[in-house]
Amino acid sequence: MAKMWAGRTDGVVSKIADDFNSSIKFDCRMYEQDIKGSMAHALMLAYKNIISQTEADTLIAGLEEILADIKSGKLEIDFTAEDIHMFVEQVLTERVGEVGKKIHTARSRNDQVALDMRLYLRQESYSIIAKIEELLKSIITIAEQHVKTIMPGYTHLQRAQPITFGHHLLAYAMMLLRDKDRFLDTLKRIDISPIGSCALAGTTYETDRGFEAEKLGFKEICQNSIDGISDRDFCIEFLSNASILMMHLSRFSEEIILWSSWEFKFVELSNEYTTGSSIMPQKKNSDMAELVRGKTGRVYGDLMALLTTLKGLPLAYNKDMQEDKESVFDAVDTINMCLDVFAPMVATIKVFKENMLLAAQKGFINATDLADYLVKKGLPFRSAYKISGSIVAKCIQEGKVLETLTLQEYKQFSDLFEEDLYQEISLTTCVEKRISYGGTSFSSVEKQIEYVKGKING
């Protein structure tokens, strides 16, 4: 069948080329955005007397019907159509007759597709932000229960200093708050209307781009029609935000996987969010967390794909740009799935406080505090550090821990040691003493919880 754009050519394309060229299999997900864009366009055309009000009413009624029919399943998407824009226009003309052909006055698929993508990403961004907030709420609920749960804090994956589990979880909350902010900030650049840029140069009709943008809820319109149709920065920004979000979820997943192992046994995921092995009956695998970690790679891939697609493109529209959709849609689907599974997975996690404490009691994570004790008694830090290190070495050699060494043994290293040292090196004291802003002390963690709470739903 000849294409709607048949003009210079007869519009008959080889089947192979037609399939290759077609984007409807993926851009059909933007049918609602496309139809709503067309409704606003019809309104504007009538407002500016480019078409009559009766014509606009007919077009809008037809479009409304198409929208309802696609939603109810009465109208099936025809996958032989070139793209969603062509499909809607074709059905509209079939249904309302000749007047349907007027909808494409003073616009082009170039500004239409840019509009659809912006409408789509605007909607998705708000829903992703809401999901990030759900995850934040799950994290806060667990963090609140573990303000005083002592665990080892790690650097180089070596036990470093005692912290609380609540403190550790809040580090992830801070990352997610930044993710939320990034999606919100990108909305400033998504929420700009390109419609009316037409093919690239604008139009000879006296249109009102502001009117049309307002009908679609845009705060601004793009200032340059060439930029209006060639700009995909907002997609790249969205993919970049998605990649950073996935990186955070992936780091969190990695810890959940480690903590669930017998070697750590700090947490256990609920059965609902784990799987078994087909051969090893004892297994309980953290598949969801592993998949989130794994899917991070594909979202990075989506970002790289689009950056690469755009890098060599001359202005203005090129068909290469059709490739933006699959990357964006894949990232949207992936982060939605990951966020959907992550929030309840975290909310139902079982925490083994005793194992965390046991791990914290090994590994001499109070050695810094032992050195600090000597500093407070007047020794320079470097000398105190050396003494503390020698005491740790003695303990390792003799299979002891700092808490079980006698005062007499301590005194062999320095006369400054007194009975009060035991109080100073107790894990609870070590945690409680870290009162610096953002630190691990109970009161500081409570403040961090309040901070995060103040940032969600606000």
- Just list the catalytic residues: 156, 277
Nearest C-alpha neighbor of 226 from the set 260, 184, 196: 196
Amino acid at site 298: R
Min separation Cβ 70 and ligand ARG, Å = 18
Q: Is 116 exposed, middle or buried (0-12, 13-18, 19+ CB in 10 A)?
A: buried
**What's the angle, vertex CA 401, arms to CA 400 and CA 407, rounded to 5?**
90
> Which pair of structure tokens corresponds to residue 19?
């399939």
- Closer to ligand ARG by CB, 50 or 321: give it: 321
CA dihedral 247, 165, 438, 153 (to 10 degrees): -80
Contact 217/333 with Cβ under 8 angstroms?
no
Alpha helices in 151-194 (DSSP H): 165-190
Contact 232/190 with Cβ under 8 angstroms?
no
- Closer to ligand ARG by CB, 30 or 99: give it: 30
- Closer to ligand ARG by CB, 55 or 330: give it: 330
Alpha helices in 261-352 (DSSP H): 287-311, 324-347
Alpha-carbon distance of 202 to 215, in angstroms, equals 19
Min separation Cβ 331 and ligand ARG, Å = 17
Min separation Cβ 321 and ligand ARG, Å = 5
Q: Is 76 exposed, middle or buried (0-12, 13-18, 19+ CB in 10 A)?
A: exposed
Q: Which residues contribute to the site for ligand ARG (CB under 6 A)?
A: 23, 27, 83, 109-110, 113, 317, 321-322
Min separation Cβ 121 and ligand ARG, Å = 14
Min separation Cβ 310 and ligand ARG, Å = 13
Min separation Cβ 241 and ligand ARG, Å = 22
Distances (CA, A) of 336 to 129, 236, 255, 344, 443: 10, 18, 21, 13, 35
- Closer to ligand ARG by CB, 181 or 326: give it: 326
- Closer to ligand ARG by CB, 84 or 135: give it: 84
Alpha-carbon distance of 205 to 227, in angstroms, equals 20
- Closer to ligand ARG by CB, 184 or 315: give it: 315
Alpha-carbon distance of 212 to 40, in angstroms, equals 6
